[in-house]
Amino acid sequence: MPKLNGNKLLSLRKIALLGAIEQPVKISSRHFAEAIESSMQTAARRLQELDTEGLIRRRIIADGQWIIVTKFRGG
């Protein structure tokens, strides 16, 4: 199971609150940056980290990205 620090947990929670639990949601890095009150660079990096760790799946498109929280089991 991936290790969640406070920033990653907050980011994952915000993604869930945007509705990405049951279905993918379209979001821009700018919108996500506003949601987590950070820069666009930090928001983009956080999404990349969550994706790399398997906590979300995302598909990047020209005007944003589709994101969904993955289901995972704790060990």
Asked if 36 contacts 43 with a C-beta cutoff of 8 angstroms, the reply is yes
Average pLDDT across the chain, whole number: 89
How many angstroms separate the CA atoms of 30 and 32, rounded? 5
1, part of any domain: no
End-to-end Cα distance, the chain: 7
Once rounded to an integer, what is the mean pLDDT over residues 52-69? 94
54, part of any domain: yes
pTM for this predicted structure: 0.83
What's the domain range around 61? 6-69
Confidence of residue 72 (pLDDT cuts 50, 70, 90): low
Q: Is the confidence at residue 44, as pLDDT, over 80?
A: yes
Number of domains in the chain: 1
pLDDT tens readout for residues 22-32? 899 999 989 99
Once rounded to an integer, what is the mean pLDDT over residues 5-17? 91
75, part of any domain: no
Place of tokens 């498109």: 61
How many angstroms separate the CA atoms of 12 and 43, rounded? 11
**Domain containing 15 — which CATH number?**
1.10.10.10
38, part of any domain: yes
53, part of any domain: yes
